[in-house]
Chains A and B, each alone.
Chain A
Amino acid sequence: MMVIAALLILGVLLFILGTIFYKGLPVLNLDMITKLPGGGFYLGKEGGVLNAIVGSFCIICGSVLISLFISVPLVMYINFYLPKKSRFSKAIRFSLDILFGVPSIVYGAFGFSLMIYLGIKASLLGGIIAVAMLIMPIMMRPFDEVAHLLSRDLPDALLSLGVTKYEMIKVILRQLRPGLITSVLLAVGRGIGDAATVLFTAGYTDNIPVAFSQPAASLPLSIFFQLGSPVEEVQNRGYASAIILTIIVLILSFVSRLISSKYSKNRI
């Protein structure tokens, strides 16, 4: 039974990868990643998806930064400042669990209505904020888990040296860095591949955004538009874009693991 389950998982993975590589690899070329979509790109003329690559990259970097600035202090606060049985930290964890389960289209719609209220058009900034809302609980929940599991010994050892709580948090963050990196990776993987959140908020464009107020393309939407084209070659380009997206996620994951292992040499 267990073997069958394992084979099934492996089979599904190979099937997905097989499909995108079988269809996408023949049309994947340097133009795809170095050129913007030219006129008639979606009808089979030449060009690439550089706009979407850059757009996705900007959106995910911005939103990861925003979520880090919110989730790291919050996780430190509920784990190391509030008492263990605090109702407030329970409430925060509970709301995170709910936010975790909210579908991404809801974040997109919420971001959209927020933007209408504030009078901003579909833009890079809008996309960043909506994706940040989407990935914040995804980043915070596992990070909270590792922080929660940290033994009381380390804070006690630090406090008994007479250091302030702020200094204590700095050392604890050092200890938790691998956990934090894993959480960020999970969030990036989810955020970069999500189409529904950016659909309303970031918009779509054939150009590279140069300001926060301009619309930004993203890979998932680019894939969506290409697959929706009646031209077979464009559809295959959609699969090629999927390969690019997969590879970006893989590279990000390898690089961060590399950084994490390099910096955590002195880890306990």
Chain B
Amino acid sequence: MSIISTSARKIVPGQFHVMEEISPEQKSDHNYSITIENLDVYIEDHQILEDINVSIPEKSITCIIGPSGCGKTTFLKTLNRMHDETPEVRIKGNVIVDGENIYGADVNVNDTRRKMGLLAQRPCLLPMSIYDNVAYGPKIHGLKRRKAINQTVIQYLQYVGLWDEVRNRIRSSATGLSIGQQQRLCLARGLAVEPEYILGDEATSALDPLSTKKIEELFIKLKEKYTVILVTHTLRQARRIADFIIFMYLGKIIEAGPTEEFFNNPGKQITKDYLSGSFS
């Protein structure tokens, strides 16, 4: 797999800053599942993201890092069209997912969101039992047979390693779970609607170290089947689990590339300053 980049040719490590131009063939390049072109995001008249051009490789973990307020979460939200809920936000540019611009005219926003599983900062459970939390999504999306629903629930609870911990109280409220368990339940709930991408918005920042470790292990397991895109505040976490890094500052992508390359040999002074902790 090659690095995050923007050019159509096979990418040479080190040349991963900003996209120059995009040819139609590049959109079908199977290594890149998400391509973002000339993305500008405004909240009212204030520009939050400026000229974002980047591609995200499939079946890998891409971490978006950068100081607070640099637009990481805004960027992540453009990927599953959550900005649609806030009318003050204006979006220009293309976000091409699997060859289709998700901001296109005849795109079903619910399908797009379903494709992009979201793991939020704090676990937010549905007011239902543990079982129903996982079963809710598949049921809504048309899974009818009880047996199939049971199977789905068990399958995904096992996947996130929660099944053995909750199998005896599957019908009881999900509130009884620890916060780490709740976050894994949220992940199982997200996976149960069969997304292709997993977006994580600082998904471990509210968790204790042990739960964080479990979630991180899950992310590594997830990248076999899914494309994982994480916003993270901790550089160490990015270094531990990411395959690719996107470094943002003041609404722009400063640098993007494979993890090793990025940490050992950053191309720009501002990246070096950030990595050395001069600002955060």
A residues at B contact (CB < 8 Å)? 83-85, 151, 153-164, 167, 171, 174-175, 264-268
Is the beta-carbon distance between B128 and A266 smaller than 8 angstroms? yes
Picked from B86, B173, B189, the residue with its CB within 8 Å of the CB of A265 is B173
Is the beta-carbon distance between A268 and B127 smaller than 8 angstroms? yes
User: Contacts of B141 on A, CB cut-off 8 Å?
Assistant: 162
**A-B CB contact pairs (8 Å), 5 listed:** A83-B88, A154-B124, A156-B85, A157-B120, A160-B113
Contacts A83-B87, A156-B82, A160-B80 hold; do A266 and B118 have CB atoms under 8 A apart?
Answer: no
Instruction: List the A residue with the shortest CB-CB distance to B125.
Output: A268
Q: In the complex, A81 Cα to B125 Cα: how many Å?
A: 21
Is the beta-carbon distance between B124 and A157 smaller than 8 angstroms? yes
User: Contacts of B186 on A, CB cut-off 8 Å?
Assistant: 157
Is the beta-carbon distance between A161 and B190 smaller than 8 angstroms? yes
Picked from A84, A156, A161, A164, the residue with its CB within 8 Å of the CB of B136 is A161
User: Contacts of A153 on B, CB cut-off 8 Å?
Assistant: 120, 122, 124
User: Contacts of B173 on A, CB cut-off 8 Å?
Assistant: 265-268
Would you list which residues of chain B between 83 and 118 have a CB under 8 Å from chain A? 85-88, 110-118
Q: In the complex, A268 Cα to B132 Cα: how many Å?
A: 13
The 3 A-B pairs at the shortest CB distance, nearest first, are namely A162-B114, A160-B118, A153-B124
Instruction: List the B residue with the shortest CB-CB distance to A80.
Output: B85
B residues at A contact (CB < 8 Å)? 80, 82, 85-88, 110-118, 120, 122, 124-129, 132, 136-137, 140-141, 172-175, 186, 189-190, 193
Picked from A155, A162, A175, the residue with its CB within 8 Å of the CB of B85 is A155
Contacts A83-B88, A154-B124, A266-B129 hold; do A160 and B174 have CB atoms under 8 A apart?
Answer: no
Is the beta-carbon distance between A161 and B175 smaller than 8 angstroms? no
Is the beta-carbon distance between A268 and B174 smaller than 8 angstroms? yes
Is the beta-carbon distance between A163 and B140 smaller than 8 angstroms? yes
User: Contacts of A151 on B, CB cut-off 8 Å?
Assistant: 124
What secondary structure prevails in chain A residues at the interface with B? helix
Is the beta-carbon distance between A156 and B124 smaller than 8 angstroms? yes
Q: In the complex, A163 Cα to B138 Cα: how many Å?
A: 10
Is the beta-carbon distance between A174 and B189 smaller than 8 angstroms? no
User: Contacts of B124 on A, CB cut-off 8 Å?
Assistant: 151, 153-154, 156-157
Is the beta-carbon distance between A268 and B175 smaller than 8 angstroms? yes
Is the beta-carbon distance between B111 and A171 smaller than 8 angstroms? no
User: Contacts of B113 on A, CB cut-off 8 Å?
Assistant: 159-162
Is the beta-carbon distance between B175 and A267 smaller than 8 angstroms? yes
Picked from B80, B112, B174, the residue with its CB within 8 Å of the CB of A266 is B174
Q: Smallest distance from the beta carbon of B120 to chain A beta carbons, Å?
A: 6
Q: Smallest distance from the beta carbon of A235 to chain B beta carbons, Å?
A: 50
Instruction: List the A residue with the shortest CB-CB distance to B195.
Output: A162
Instruction: List the A residue with the shortest CB-CB distance to B133.
Output: A266
Q: In the complex, A83 Cα to B89 Cα: how many Å?
A: 11
User: Contacts of A175 on B, CB cut-off 8 Å?
Assistant: 127
Q: Smallest distance from the beta carbon of B152 to chain A beta carbons, Å?
A: 13
Q: In the complex, A157 Cα to B141 Cα: how many Å?
A: 15
Q: In the complex, A166 Cα to B156 Cα: how many Å?
A: 26
Q: Smallest distance from the beta carbon of B84 to chain A beta carbons, Å?
A: 9
Is the beta-carbon distance between A171 and B126 smaller than 8 angstroms? yes
Is the beta-carbon distance between B85 and A159 smaller than 8 angstroms? yes
Contacts A153-B124, A175-B127, A268-B175 hold; do A161 and B86 have CB atoms under 8 A apart?
Answer: no
Q: In the complex, A217 Cα to B137 Cα: how many Å?
A: 50
Contacts A83-B86, A267-B173, A268-B175 hold; do A161 and B127 have CB atoms under 8 A apart?
Answer: no
User: Contacts of A174 on B, CB cut-off 8 Å?
Assistant: 127-128
Q: In the complex, A22 Cα to B73 Cα: how many Å?
A: 66
Instruction: List the B residue with the shortest CB-CB distance to A152.
Output: B85
Q: In the complex, A167 Cα to B127 Cα: how many Å?
A: 13
Q: In the complex, A151 Cα to B80 Cα: how many Å?
A: 20
Q: In the complex, A97 Cα to B189 Cα: how many Å?
A: 40
Is the beta-carbon distance between A162 and B122 smaller than 8 angstroms? no
User: Contacts of B115 on A, CB cut-off 8 Å?
Assistant: 162
Q: Smallest distance from the beta carbon of B129 to chain A beta carbons, Å?
A: 5
Contacts A155-B85, A157-B186, A162-B114 hold; do A267 and B127 have CB atoms under 8 A apart?
Answer: yes
Q: A162-B114, A162-B137 are in contact. List 11 more A-B contacts (CB 8 A).
A: A83-B88, A84-B86, A85-B88, A153-B124, A156-B120, A160-B118, A161-B114, A167-B140, A264-B127, A266-B175, A267-B127
Q: Smallest distance from the beta carbon of B79 to chain A beta carbons, Å?
A: 11
Q: Smallest distance from the beta carbon of A263 to chain B beta carbons, Å?
A: 10
Q: In the complex, A155 Cα to B82 Cα: how many Å?
A: 10
Instruction: List the B residue with the shortest CB-CB distance to A159.
Output: B113
Is the beta-carbon distance between A161 and B140 smaller than 8 angstroms? yes
Q: In the complex, A174 Cα to B133 Cα: how many Å?
A: 13
Is the beta-carbon distance between B82 and A160 smaller than 8 angstroms? yes
